[in-house]
Amino acid sequence: MLTAGQILQLIRDGSCRTRKELIEYTGLSRSTITDRVDRLIDAGYIHESGVGASGGGRPPSMLAVDAAKRLVLVADLGASHARVALTDLAARPLAEESTEMRIELGPEAVLSWVRQAFQRMLDSVGRTAAEVCGIGLDLPGSVDHTTGRVIRSFLMPGWDDHPVGAALGETYDVPILVENDANAMALGEWWSFWRDTDSLILIKVSTGIGTGIVIDGRIYRGVEEAAGNIGHVRLRETDDRVCTCGSRGCVASLASGHALAGDLGVQYSRDVVRLVQAGDPGAIARTQEAGRTLGIVLATAVSLLNPGVLVLAGDMAETREHYLTGIREIVYRRSLPYTTRNLEIVTTSLGDRAGIVGMAVIVMEHVLSPASVDAALATTVT
């Protein structure tokens, strides 16, 4: 006996668009389907969106998710930026805002800005906090996505074990989901452009290096929420460079935006991008070298996971082809030909919006999951 939440999934994925199709597909009685559909309509999950072709008699009403009725608030926090967005339940943006902000300012200052920006966006479109059904926030570190706490981050002093979800929950009594930024970006890219591939790896190279892995449409996090932490794979243990993690010779200490900035005498990874875009030969050469260094580790990842797509994101994706060229050179040279035969190595299509889109999708999937829908409907039963 399918629940109302499971019926909603059939409508969402296009398996069934009318009551008649639901009856035929599920084998449930007309009265049962009518009950499930009416409850979903009354709760605002679906609506009738026109009529379909008639096979004789009255044309059937078409059923679709009512994405406009509920709102989602999301935030993408990097080492040096903060971006927030208000979307509907189809991850379509209604309002966005961004600012330059150092994550090292600490959770109180950063989350205070996020809360204020959330309210500004709601005010700008004339909506209220009561219409928000979920919140998502990503951070540049390992997080426990079940508790909403930061587990560890080498770029976020003062954030370890901070209850990010609870801090936002003081204002909004809705599900609050916290995720690693590279994971969110990977899902955003996959959902927007690569849903026909079984696996995707996204490498975010900005101040640090992070990796998100999507397999069969789901984020792969690992046992300790640390999957994709390739920035701290050690390549040269005798190297003089000390990584932010305290070790020597990590990929991040050799190939991250922070490492390049130090080598080129500038402050931030975005300064490196500006040098490359201006045609500085030293910056271009060092950027290509960094791509080759990261490519050594990515060649192993490609051999291990055999992904269909490898996406470069973050500041270094804006160096035109220079960083990407280094990655391609080494991945194709060091991987078996059949593992790269159908591999696409590309730069991000969403740019700095990848995390925002990914978090909106994460919240959308959670709020519209069968378990969440059935739990919400159960609270409305008198």
Q: Is the pLDDT of residue 57 over 80?
A: no
Beta bridge partners of 100: 81
What is the overall mean pLDDT for the chain?
92
Per-residue pLDDT tens for 151-174? 877 778 889 888 898 888 888 999
Report the C-alpha gap between 338 and 196 in whole angstroms: 19
Q: Do domains 4-65 and 71-183+355-380 have the same CATH topology?
A: no
Which is nearest to 192 in space by CA: 302, 313, 103? 313
Q: What is the pLDDT of residue 119?
A: 97
Rounded (to 5) percent helix, strand, coil in the chain: 45, 20, 35
Q: Is the pLDDT of residue 145 over 50?
A: yes
Q: What is the pLDDT of residue 53?
A: 60
Per the structure block, which two tokens stand in for 345?
Answer: 């190595």
Q: What is the pLDDT of residue 51?
A: 67
Q: According to DSSP H, which parts of 144-250 are helical? A: 164-169, 181-193
Reported in sequence order, the residue ranges of 101-154 that DSSP labels E, i.e. its strands, are: 132-139, 142-144, 149-152
CATH among 2.60.120.10, 1.10.10.10, 3.30.70.1450, 3.90.920.20 for 4-65: 1.10.10.10
Domain 71-183+355-380, classified CATH 3.40.50.2000, yes or no: no
- For the domain made up of 192-351, give the CATH fold: Nucleotidyltransferase; domain 5 (3.30.420)
Confidence of residue 1 (pLDDT cuts 50, 70, 90): confident
Q: What is the pLDDT of residue 240?
A: 74
State mean pLDDT over 316-321: 92
Confidence of residue 232 (pLDDT cuts 50, 70, 90): confident
Alpha-carbon dihedral of residues 267, 271, 276, 280, nearest 10 degrees?
-60
State mean pLDDT over 224-235: 84
Q: What is the pLDDT of residue 108?
A: 93
End-to-end Cα distance, the chain: 22
* Weakest mean pLDDT among 53-67, 93-107, 224-238, 241-255: 53-67
Q: What is the pLDDT of residue 382?
A: 46
Per-residue pLDDT tens for 326-349? 999 999 999 988 999 999 999 999
Q: What is the pLDDT of residue 54?
A: 56
Per the structure block, which two tokens stand in for 17?
Answer: 């668009």
Record the pTM.
0.92
In the chain, domain spans: 4-65, 71-183+355-380, 192-351
Per-residue pLDDT tens for 279-290? 999 999 999 999
Looking at per-residue pLDDT, the higher value among 169 and 192 belongs to 192
Report the C-alpha gap between 315 and 267 in whole angstroms: 13
